[in-house]
Amino acid sequence: MPEEYRLKKIDDYRWEIPKSEGMRVPGLLYTDEKMLKVLETDRTPLQVKNVAYLPGIVNYSLAMPDMHWGYGFPIGGVAATDPEEGGVISPGGIGYDINCGVRLLRTNLTLPDIKDRLHNLLAGLFSNIPCGVGSTSSLRLSSRELKTVLRDGAKWAVKRSYGQEDDLERTEDYGAMPGADPEKVSQKALKRGTNQLGTLGSGNHFLEIDLVEKIYLPEIAEVFGLEEGQIAVAIHSGSRGLGYQVCDDYLAVMRQAIEKYKISLPDRQLSCAPLSSPEGQDYFAAMASAANFAWTNRQVMTHWTREVIQRVLGISPKALGMRLVYDVCHNIGKFELHSWDGKKKRLLVHRKGATRAFPAHHPQVPGVYREVGQPVLVPGDMGTNSYVMVGTKLAMEQTWGSTCHGAGRVMSRSKAKKAARGRALEKELEERGILVMAKGWATVAEEMPEAYKDVNEVVRIVEKAGLSRKVAKLRPLGVIKG
């Protein structure tokens, strides 16, 4: 390992970066020997170390096994800060795509029900749910209406018949993050969001038709509404241009804030402000607004997905039985109560490319899942499996109730495109039983399976480390990429 950080093995799945000068806490990586070899070239541990310099950080700077290089924080990074100890909030610890997240919908359908209609289903979804760079929606919101979305979140959509009431119960924070203030969102960000509600976007965002291939914990799967042979739908998207602009706007504010509050950092991409400061509070209010936009975005797409599938298959809503299993955030900062130093503390938990994994009986787990724990959704790449997992008590004790969020990149987008030259990726995937529709070759190339770690290995590590447990494995049948 490089001289800039040294790793100390705690056990087979945990590696510590010992605290050194400037670090307020040690770093802790959830990985194994095999995954460590990837990190030697990626240098992600350096970012884990850098995060440990943040004022008010508590216990550890953490990274999940799907970790890779990001802006300031590594993607896969988790850090909690204590407002009472000068704790800060850092946009780099939440990411540009605020509340990028994934939701899973179960159905009453089985493979024979759709096998001969899969192409038609995918084509219908591709035509009706805008995707790709700069994609725009048929919904056009006034400035006033958009601000209502930013304040109310997914209930705005349900109130206007874009979904049903129980969708909200199965969405993290009921699809509306407290503390949102649309007045803290810039006019430029608002303008970018006026015509993007109900759009998938580009990059690693997708809409996927999946087959529930294997059940590992039948009793929990039954509570989640999942069974082998069932068709499910996954939607992965975020806050689009609005969220990106919120992050960009406040990074400029934070660069001035670190000078104002005399915060010393090894990387200016970690620019931040005290949670008690006007800058910190304004960013949190804008970030929460963008998070609410993202939940509403996924809710609108969920409604259109239901409509398309009913229309293509010619079945009723009752026959389709499409119900939301859960919607989780991947890029978010949240105030949460955690046990620390022998007492309950209100901490700000940054999760960037990480998923909340609360256990059974936690008060923030929806009532329908309270007895078993929160569903954790872990998408793989478009050519491999995805997983449904469940949160654990150990995650609460070790990682502020956090686990992995996906496979994690091992190849940059430009490198992936270079590696994909001359290959007919869509045909390769079709030969493996996976239909793909995308706006262009470049999108498929950037997201080709080889660009990602093996999600099976990532999931194995978090399960062995005790952070979450496998409930079900999903196999993609049809994928829409932006």
For residues 55 and 22, the answer to whether their CB atoms sit within 8 Å is no
> Going by C-beta distance under 8 Å and a sequence separation of 6 or more, which residues neighbour residue 292?
149, 150, 151, 152, 153, 154, 175, 176, 177, 180
Start-end of H helices in 261-355: 278-313, 317-320
Locus of tokens 């990480």: 354
Give CA–CA dist 476/461, Å, rounded: 22
Q: What single DSSP character describes residue 63?
A: E
Give CA–CA dist 269/132, Å, rounded: 27
Give CA–CA dist 105/230, Å, rounded: 11
Both tokens of 368, joined, read 């329908």
Give CA–CA dist 478/432, Å, rounded: 11
Q: Of residues 68, 236, 362, 405, which has the active-site annotation?
A: 405
329: nearest Cα among 80, 148, 98, 93: 98
- In the residue annotation, 405 being an active-site residue is answered as yes
At 115, phi and psi to the nearest 5? -50, -45
For residues 72 and 270, the answer to whether their CB atoms sit within 8 Å is yes
For residues 270 and 258, the answer to whether their CB atoms sit within 8 Å is no
Active site residues: 405
